[in-house]
Every structure is written in structure tokens, then in C-alpha cells.
Chains A and B, each alone.
Chain A
């Protein structure tokens, strides 16, 4: 972890010597002012890196947080004669509180709803700054904002103040970087990639959103505080919706997911108008086009483009390393079969009572009851469209049942949220594989370990040893789990893995927390004969390890190899139960599958 942060040192050094590189005279002073401006922008944009780049939530209110920071500082120092540093601290706290509020109401909101709420917030804040004259100075704004000092050190001249800002920029970079590489950061990425899968992996979506918004607001506030003290004069026309759009564009153009990219974008779009001055009025239209072009052609931003170029160059220079041959390790797959499979106990782990789930006029599940004992490999089979997946979705909390109850370990879990059910010990995989596509295989499984962690934001940012320990444990557990499943390409992005391998990673993500019950939704779907055989072997071994499993599967040879108990569904109801052998000879089941119906007259 520490090593990764070293890569920022050249950037910091470069930024620190900028004042010496500028031309002298008035032009130099002007450029230094712009540089100060762009650093405050960069800090605000780093907030967007968290909320937009990491958690994938749209916020078009960053200028409002920036403004809240500026005005808090200005009002307290100028009108109430507070000292600088306590005012600055409040200048961060107040926007953070508003960020908490926005995050909290965004619980039920996604995509455009959320975007609009942030816009609404932005518009309201601009109106207040403009109209609440007695406090904010109205359209005239507030002037004579003091510059800070620390003991004998006064940061009154621009150069000194610029270096002080750099210290805060480093702090912001540290916060964002540390967050990204922590357990919480992984949760934010998971939220961005797939909310349903994140929730099923035990992540509380509500807190993840609140976290993203409040960190983002805090950084926006910090940027605003530094801007106000830098410019020494503020007025409401800086903190308008257009400025939020500008922050948004800076983050996108540079590279929404990259810290360096974001800083690059902030600097670039601050200086671009100067460079494009010869275009006069055309400048902003060019800037609009630039945003469109970046979005259409460079989804990773300019920095992403640079990185791709660098990587390609490195590849040309370096000879390709020979691909690693799979090490001979004892994985679950290669271990010799044990003689005895664990026998199911009498303890009932899961009990489904008269479950119903209706969608409009369709009764997808219509009164299903069954139990899974500890140590079972239970299978739910039935023709296509018989409601099996719906049952699984209700069990894992993705759907609320229309009627009926689900009991797990003696507790009624019907209607609980997916992350709560996960934490109680039920983990699942999905029929159409829901990995986090942009994360590596290892990171996917680390996200699965999220519920075991305890360290929150403060611990993460203060680099508490416990936080590092948890991260190491999660990493080790994830590596072990993947290893156990015989999976080697752990640093490959999930989206680049072949289908069969993705399935293995998804199972690893579900089992890394040692759930008491593993739900597998058609694990063999989309696999070839060889992969299916391996998979049935794998499920068998999981059972040996002591996992209780409930699975849906169509492949009867798969089912008969692994299952100890079978339930058959047809048109939303259970039609048979027993061992796999028994149910496959049950006339009702044969009829459901083959439609045998001798007495029907076809004449």
C-alpha cells in the first residue's frame, strides 16, 4: 500500500516547483493566481472522484459544497471575527453535514432521480447565497477574507499560500487514495458496478452512498475554504450550477477514476480558456464539444489515454514473460476423494412456509414449502418458468414475498434486505453471473469478505493498524478461497475471464465468508461438458467441506451426482420431493418434464 502512494511524489514535486517556472512580472502573478484556483478546483474534483468515479453516483452539486465551504469561512472570519483555523474546520464540517443529508435521501434514488436532487440542491444553495443578504452579503459577496497563519508563519504572499494549499492537496490525495484501497473503497466500487450483487454480498447500500456523498462534500468544502482565503473575495456567481457542471467535466475529462487524471482535468480546464483565448467566444462551445468527445471516445478520460499509451510502450520494450504454468498445488479439485460425505443432521437450517410471489397476473410462486437441513445439498428442479429463480430471489431478499414466510436458523427473515440476509449467513450466486466486471477476480472475492470487516471511515483514514490487518486478512482469505477452487488468474479483470472461470469467481465470492447456506442459481448454465463435470466435482467437495447448499439446476446428471435432497416445482408449486432417484421416477415429475399424458385424446 505504502509503495503505491510513492507514485504521487513526482507529481507533488512538479507542482511545488511551479512558482519557479512561471514567467516574472504581471503575467507570472496572473498565472500563479490561476494555479491557486486550479488547486482548489482539483481538491473539489477529488470529491467527485469518490462519488462519481468510485461509487458511480451522479452529483451535480459540487459547486454548492464548494460554496458552503467558502461562505462558512468568510462569514465566520469577516463578520464574526473568528480565528482562521476553527472557521476553516467548520467550513469543512458544514458541507459534510449537507452531504450526509443528500446521501441519506439518495437511499431510494438512483440515476436521474439522484442527479436531479443534486441539481435542485445546487439551485437552492445558489439562491440562498444570492438572496440572504444579511448573512451572505447578497450579490455583493464578502471581501477582505484573511489568509491563514501558523504561529510565526504567515501565508500572506501568493507563493507561500500556494505551498500551503499543496499541503492540503496532498492530504486530499491521501484521503482519496487511502479510501480507494480500503475495504470501504471496495464497497463503493461494488456499489458502482452492480447494486444488486453488492447488496447480496453484504454491503449496506445506504451507508455506502452516505459515505461517498459526505467524503465528496467534505473535499468540496475544503476546496471552497482554500479558494476563499486564496481569492480573499467571494461572490455568489462563482457557486452556480454551471460551476458544478464544470467540476463534473473536469473530473470526466481527466479521468473520473484516477486521482492524477482528476488533477490533470482540473488544471487543464482552468488553463484551457487562457490557451484558447484566440477563439474568444468559441471557447466554451469547444469545451462542450471536448466533453462530448471525451465521453464518446475516451471513457477513461485523458489520463486513461496516457496510461494506455504508456502501457503499450512498456509492452513493446519488455519481452513478454512466459505465461505461468499452473503451479502444482493441492487444490480442492485435485484432492483425493474422501470416503464418506457428511450426513445431513436433523437441524433445520432453512424453512420456507407457503411462499407466494405474484407479478401482476402471473403467480410466479404459488404456495411453496420446503426445508433445508444443515448438511444438505438440496436441489430445486422443475421445468423452465416454474418459479425456481423467483424462490431464490425471495430467499436472498431481492424480492419481498407476496405472502408466506422464510425462516432461517429459527429467525423469520422474510422481507429483510439482501445485505442483512447475507450477514445472517446466506450467500448466493446468480443465474446470469453478476460479478463486478471492472474489478479483478481477487477484488471481487475481497468484496465478498466485506461483512467481516469492522473498521469504519475514521479508522481507515487514520491508517489504524486494525484496518490494515483486516485488509490483509480479507486479501489472504480471498486468495486462499480462489486457490482452493484451483483458480489462478486472480489479477485479471472479471469481464475478461471466460464464462466458466467467472462462475468459479462468483462461487468464491459467495463462500469467502463461510456462509451457513450457499444458494447457487443454475451454476452449470452456459458451461460446456468438461466445465460442468468439474463444477459438479467442485460442489461435491464444497459439501465435503461442510457447506450446506441449496441449488437450482437443470442438468440432471449434475443434480444426481451432488444432491442429497430434491424438490420439484411446476407452475409455481411444489409437486414432489425426495432423493433425486425418487423424484425422477415420480410420475408427476415425468409428466411435468416430458408432458406424458396418456389419457389425453388427440383425435
Chain B
């Protein structure tokens, strides 16, 4: 079943066009990757879906309903959760409080919050000992785990992850990708934006290749992984933001 349908959208930052023409679909239960070099429009696509930007052309539908004019706080209430680039942990809140903030998209009981936190700590056991530490004191990898955990607290139907491997050491990156796969196996649909193409293609079902704000290719992950041309594009193509 198609959950999210992005149809020929254009997005701008002021007068600079970020996206020219993007169309994509995300089906229930999938991991879909958006790949491309820096500035190809991957993050802009996520920002447009989550309502931080409104498309200047085209439509976005979630379960058959237009969402492209809604505010971010309305979209996250529908279960589309955007974990932004650079982790964006609340620096002055503790790990527990950061997780609590993830439940801001709905009314919760105390017990529900506790269950949610427990579930996150099962996925990221490292966070357990940091639970009362302030966000700014965490390392990059810990912050990334917290950011994903915070996203999970929202009970996402679709989890959109923007560059979860950004600035992390390879060993941590592996853990992060493994966790994304686990989360998906628990039934969360994932839309993943990554520079790290190989890793993403290995966990994703399908992927879209973006270049200068356009989709230039879409295929199953396996096909893209086997294609040498994709590698070359990603390593040497023009990039602009």
C-alpha cells in the first residue's frame, strides 16, 4: 500500500530553487533511500514533506490526503516523523527529557511515556546509563541514537531520517544502520536520506537517485548496488545546495 506519494514538487529557499521536480512513493513496510551528493536536494525533500518548507509546485499525499499545506506540528501528529540532519538534540535537556519531547505530537499518559522510553532503551542500551545527562555533553554517536530514539517516541508510521551517519565513526555508523533495519522490522516504514550510498543500499528495499533537485533514477536497491555507474555518479557528480 502506498503511504506517501510525492508528486512533481518544486521547493525554494527564497529565490534559490532547492528542488526542481521530485516525485517519489513510499510503501508500507519499506525502507526507501534517497541518495545523491551534497546539495542534490535530499534534505530539502524531507523538509518539504515534514512541512518546514511548502512546495511551490506539486502535491504531497499521505494515505490519500493532501498534506503539503499543513504546518510541521500537524504533519507529525499524523505519524510522519522527521529526524533532522545534524541530530539537533535539545542541548539543555537531559536524555530522558529529550525522549519525552518526542511524544509532543499527542496526549500521553505517564505509563505510555515510560513504556516508550523502555522500548527506546532496549534498542539503544547505551543510552541507559546516560539517561540523566544533558544533551550537549553526549558524543556524536550517542546524540544520533538519542535523535532516532526521540523520533521513535512519536510512534511514527513513517520515520524520515536525514543523514544519520553524518560525522560518525565507521563502527558507529554500522550500529546505526543495523538499528534502522531492526526498527523497520518492527513495522516502521523508513525514508532514509544518506550520503553513505553503499550502506543505505544494503538495508533499503528501493532507492531514488537525486541530482540537482531532480530524480534521475529509481530502482530496487539490489539493482542499484550492482550498477557501477551509480557509484561513479555518487563519487564524482556535481553537487550544489
* A residues 539-556 touching B (CB-CB < 8 Å): 554-556
Contact in complex: B196, A594 (CB < 8 Å): yes
Contact in complex: A361, B167 (CB < 8 Å): no
Contact in complex: A361, B235 (CB < 8 Å): no
In Å, the complex CA distance between A383 and B199 comes to: 15
Contact in complex: B240, A532 (CB < 8 Å): yes
In Å, the complex CA distance between A600 and B234 comes to: 21
Residue B2 CB within 8 A of the other chain: no
Which residues from chain B contact A525 at a C-beta distance below 8 Å? 39, 240-241
Interface size class of B (residues with CB under 8 A): 35 or more
Residue B106 CB within 8 A of the other chain: no
Cβ contacts A to B, 8 pairs, < 8 Å: A360-B137, A362-B143, A529-B212, A555-B39, A560-B236, A595-B199, A602-B181, A602-B203
Contact in complex: B39, A597 (CB < 8 Å): no
* B residues 123-161 touching A (CB-CB < 8 Å): 136-140, 142-143
Which residues from chain B contact A499 at a C-beta distance below 8 Å? 15-16
Smallest Cβ-Cβ distance to A500: which chain B residue: B16
| Min distance, Cβ B53 to any Cβ of chain A, angstroms | 15
Which residues from chain A contact B234 at a C-beta distance below 8 Å? 593-594
* A residues 570-603 touching B (CB-CB < 8 Å): 571-572, 584, 590-591, 593-597, 600, 602
Residue B195 CB within 8 A of the other chain: yes
Which residues from chain A contact B38 at a C-beta distance below 8 Å? 384, 554
Residue B173 CB within 8 A of the other chain: yes
Contact in complex: B169, A361 (CB < 8 Å): no
Smallest Cβ-Cβ distance to B142: which chain A residue: A361
Smallest Cβ-Cβ distance to B35: which chain A residue: A594
Smallest Cβ-Cβ distance to B140: which chain A residue: A362
In Å, the complex CA distance between A590 and B240 comes to: 20
Residue B197 CB within 8 A of the other chain: yes
Which residues from chain B contact A383 at a C-beta distance below 8 Å? 166-167, 195-196
Quick one: given A361-B138, A597-B170, are A384 and B16 in contact (CB under 8 Å)?
no
Quick one: given A360-B137, A361-B142, are A595 and B165 in contact (CB under 8 Å)?
yes
Contact pattern, A 524-568, Cβ under 8 Å of B = 1, otherwise 0: 111111001000000000000000000000111110100000000
Quick one: given A593-B195, A595-B197, are A526 and B16 in contact (CB under 8 Å)?
yes
Other-chain residue from B138, B143, B199, B236 in contact with A556 (beta carbon distance below 8 A): B236
Which residues from chain B contact A557 at a C-beta distance below 8 Å? 236-238
Residue B37 CB within 8 A of the other chain: yes
Q: How many residue-residue contacts, CB under 8 A, span A and B?
A: 107
A interface with B by C-beta (< 8 Å)? 360-363, 383-387, 498-499, 524-529, 532, 554-558, 560, 571-572, 584, 590-591, 593-597, 600, 602
Contact in complex: B168, A361 (CB < 8 Å): no
In Å, the complex CA distance between A556 and B38 comes to: 11
In Å, the complex CA distance between A178 and B175 comes to: 64
Contact in complex: A529, B174 (CB < 8 Å): no
Contact in complex: B240, A594 (CB < 8 Å): no
Which residues from chain A contact B16 at a C-beta distance below 8 Å? 499, 526
Contact in complex: B170, A591 (CB < 8 Å): yes
Residue B187 CB within 8 A of the other chain: no
Contact in complex: B198, A360 (CB < 8 Å): no
Taking A362-B139, A532-B238, A557-B237 as given, write out 20 further A-B residue pairs in contact, using a Cβ cutoff of 8 Å, ordered by the A residue number.
A360-B137, A361-B138, A361-B140, A361-B142, A524-B240, A526-B16, A528-B212, A528-B240, A532-B240, A554-B38, A554-B39, A555-B239, A555-B240, A556-B235, A556-B239, A590-B235, A593-B235, A594-B197, A595-B173, A595-B199
Quick one: given A499-B16, A528-B240, A532-B240, are A384 and B235 in contact (CB under 8 Å)?
no
Contact in complex: B195, A571 (CB < 8 Å): no
Contact pattern, B 197-212, Cβ under 8 Å of A = 1, otherwise 0: 1111011000000001
Contact in complex: B239, A386 (CB < 8 Å): no
Nearest 3 interchain pairs by C-beta: A385-B167, A595-B196, A360-B136
